[in-house]
Structure 1
Amino acid sequence: MNNPTRCFDDDGRAKRTGTWLTASAHIITAVIGCGVLSLAWAVAQMGWIAGPIILLVFSLVTWFASALQADCYRNPTTGKRHYTYREAVRSILGGRKFKLCGIAQYSNFVGVSIGYTITASISMAAVKRAICFHRMGHQAGCHTHNNQFLIIFGILQLLMSQLPNFHKLSWLSIVAAAMSFGYSFIGIGLAIAKVAGGSNARTSFTGVEIGVDVTAAQKIWNIFTALGNMAFAYAFSMVLIEIQDTLKPNPPENVVMKKSISVGILITTFFYLLCGVMGYAAFGNDASGNFLTGFGFFEPYWLVALANIFIAVHLVGAYQVFVQPLFDFVETQCTTKWPESKFVNAEYPVKLPLYGSYTFNFLRFVWRTAYVILVTIVAMIFPFFNDIVGLIGAFSFWPLTIYFPIEMYIAQGNARKYSWRWISLQVLKYGCLIVSLVAVVSSVRGLVVGVQNLKPFQSVS
């Protein structure tokens, strides 16, 4: 007779099997996404001094705030688990802040879904263009419509979105993390080869030059957008609690999660610095918004194509890491509201080849399918890479990565009011607010300018 404790944890849920390794893989998958592709451009806006320093500052701030957040997984008095970020905010802060957190978190999930769909389609198109450049010559236009690739990515997500829950994604995150290492290494290698071969790129301590590359106003706006791009590069706090909820209870989850946070951010920062710095060294002030699809690299064409395949595969997994908590929230709300509905609650076991036993649910099928289709359509209408990335990063960084973790840490009694620790946390909180606000304004401006020349459903790489 099976021992039920072998199948369930003390809260009655399916036994958690996650380790620091799987949690690190989830973090790397969530962090190293399309954000890494814009870092060469971001460093180019700030130059050799400010660019790497600000990138390091973002990594340290994210690491610090994430460590505070990891301590919020369990209630310090009762030991009760908080299964989601919103649940932690509701339990510790309550009321209005809980509602604000929900708006910020789920809006960000939608934004990330759109951003990843756009980026994946651009990378898929870049594979076709790399082959075209090799056959037709580097002066050929080789332009291709992105819509077909947006649809392909959308179909893949329709299939992947039917996975029942976040706990089924460990294998997908490990594959996606491997892909992120792959294209990061390729991008870094191509940049090093270009520099070693004598790229003759124009670089400077202050980045793009006023009067040569941009106007004074453009320089300021681009720096603000670059701040949003860097913030987006470290966006994973909104799924941190969900990742932590996959861990075994022994050793304590917060101890294991802090180790995973340190490993994940250390690895990603190393790659970010290499991608940003080497990308800037290779292309200088002319660095494109996406340095693997801007075609500063042409040969070896197969390696450029392979890097973009890795990006697309990675984003299939990263999309799911961010969107599964949104799926779970909507489905939980529906279950609570309509507990007797078979459409909402009935599960039908189905045997699938290569997968095994799968439970089909009508609500899950209809809702998730509709969501993916809607996101794909929006991505086809607004295909702006840098400004979308900057807006998502700027909008989500302050409330989700900084404000709520600090507020929860203080509310748990870890910082006495007007003590040096409390004052330091307030300075950090409001300093990051200013950075986020200017980045939001800049990205919105960029989107407004882009929409003025927009031809819906005519995205071309």
Structure 2
Amino acid sequence: MDVEAGKRVFPLAAVGPKQDSITQAHVGKGEWYHAGYHLATTIATPAAYAPLPWAFAMLTWPGGIIAFVIGVVITWYNSLLLASLHEYGGTRHTRYKDLAGAILGRWGLFSTVFFQQVASLGNNITIQIVAGQAIKAIYKAYVPAGSMTLQHFIVIFGAAQLLLSQLPNIHALRGLNMASTLATLCFATLVTAMSIITGRGMDRSAVSYGLEGDRQAVLMSAFAALGTIAFR
């Protein structure tokens, strides 16, 4: 993005010399493709986009596509805003809390830290439960009479998380995140192929794209679908 153009579009973005808000040692050393699969691993996961077909079904094809496009545009604009504020007041901020502190002051910093920790706690609890269920499903597929319970697998996954959390930064996870991105692409490819194959073998005359249920159920499903798209 052109710096002067960025200043006109985002007047808060006072871009100056590239000085890290902590130390120069904290400036990332990764390449653009590292950022690509870090983002793909954290955002474009099967758990994130798997509910989208249901959301489209609850909004019908036109409504689902419109809501999805609006969500993409809003996300893109928010990303531009954050990117424009990456260097604020002549200082390069590598962490959200530092950026919030520079713009909003002390309370901005503390508020950001609080909400980050709340989101992190909720995400980690959810991820551990979902991962435990996934590992248990694999275990039961190979050991149907096994005695291990969901709690065992949650503890196992939690221990792995604890071990990985000792790494110095996200760049140290680039190998694992690359493998996760490849797994996500494989999942998306398989699901797409299976959907096409299944669709070709169906009796298309029996397929209905209409909304089912009474008015209240349809309305509640529509709001739930909008929430699903907004979250993704």
Same fold, TM exceeding 0.5? Answer: yes
Please name the residue that 2:41 is paired with: 29
Q: Quickly say closer, same or farther: Cα 1:189–1:90, change in 2 above 3 A.
A: same
SS at the partner of 2:25?
A: coil
Pairwise mapping of residues 212-223 of structure 1 onto structure 2 (< 5 A)?
215-223=214-222
Alpha-carbon distance between aligned partners in 2 of 1:40 and 1:117, rounded to the nearest angstrom: 24
Retained in 2: the 8 A contact 1:35–1:230? Answer: no
Q: How big is each residue's C-alpha offset from its partner over 1:281-334, in whole Å with a ceiling of 9 and x where there is no partner?
A: xxxxxxxxxxxxxxxxxxxxxxxxxxxxxxxxxxxxxxxxxxxxxxxxxxxxxx
Retained in 2: the 8 A contact 1:47–1:203? Answer: no
Task: Give 1:130 shift.
Answer: 6.0
Pick from 84, 98, 115: which aligns with 1:104? 115
Task: Give 1:118 shift.
Answer: 2.7
Identity level (%)? 28
Q: How big is each residue's C-alpha offset from its partner over 1:92-150, in whole Å with a ceiling of 9 and x where there is no partner?
A: 12244444333332211222212222322333344356669xx9xxxxxxxx9533432
The gaps in structure 1 that reach 5 residues or longer are 1-8, 136-143, 234-461
Pick from 8, 20, 30: which aligns with 1:18? 30
Asked if residue 61 in structure 1 is aligned to residue 74 in structure 2, the reply is yes
Pairwise mapping of residues 262-411 of structure 1 onto structure 2 (< 5 A)?
none
Q: Quickly say closer, same or farther: Cα 1:119–1:99, change in 2 above 3 A.
A: same
Please name the residue that 1:71 is paired with: 84
Alpha-carbon distance between aligned partners in 1 of 2:197 and 2:142, rounded to the nearest angstrom: 20
Alpha-carbon distance between aligned partners in 1 of 2:203 and 2:86, rounded to the nearest angstrom: 49
SS at the partner of 2:29?
A: coil
Task: Give 1:71 shift.
Answer: 1.5
Pick from 211, 216, 225: which aligns with 1:208? 211
Alpha-carbon distance between aligned partners in 2 of 1:223 and 1:15, rounded to the nearest angstrom: 43
Task: Give 1:65 shift.
Answer: 0.8
Please name the residue that 1:184 is paired with: 188
Pick from 168, 177, 189: which aligns with 1:164? 168
Alpha-carbon RMSD: 2.8
Q: Quickly say closer, same or farther: Cα 1:20–1:157, change in 2 above 3 A.
A: same
Retained in 2: the 8 A contact 1:121–1:150? Answer: yes
Q: Quickly say closer, same or farther: Cα 1:175–1:64, change in 2 above 3 A.
A: same
Q: How big is each residue's C-alpha offset from its partner over 1:66-111, in whole Å with a ceiling of 9 and x where there is no partner?
A: 1110111112x42x22121111111012244444333332211222
Q: Quickly say closer, same or farther: Cα 1:173–1:101, change in 2 above 3 A.
A: same
Pick from 112, 121, 140: which aligns with 2:132? 121
Task: Give 1:46 shift.
Answer: 1.3
Please name the residue that 1:452 is paired with: none
Q: Quickly say closer, same or farther: Cα 1:203–1:108, change in 2 above 3 A.
A: farther
Alpha-carbon distance between aligned partners in 1 of 2:40 and 2:73, rounded to the nearest angstrom: 16
SS at the partner of 1:209?
A: coil
Task: Give 1:47 shift.
Answer: 1.5
Task: Give 1:191 shift.
Answer: 1.3
Q: Quickly say closer, same or farther: Cα 1:153–1:90, change in 2 above 3 A.
A: same
Retained in 1: the 8 A contact 2:27–2:94? Answer: no
Q: Quickly say closer, same or farther: Cα 1:155–1:96, change in 2 above 3 A.
A: closer
Please name the residue that 1:154 is paired with: 158
Please name the residue that 1:355 is paired with: none
Alpha-carbon distance between aligned partners in 1 of 2:130 and 2:78, rounded to the nearest angstrom: 28
Pick from 157, 174, 178: which aligns with 1:174? 178
The gaps in structure 2 that reach 5 residues or longer are 1-18
Task: Give 1:216 shift.
Answer: 3.0
Q: Give the TM-score taking structure 1 as reference length.
A: 0.41
Alpha-carbon distance between aligned partners in 1 of 2:132 and 2:138, rounded to the nearest angstrom: 10
Alpha-carbon distance between aligned partners in 1 of 2:168 and 2:181, rounded to the nearest angstrom: 21
Q: In the alignment, residue 171 of structure 2 is paired with which amino acid?
A: H
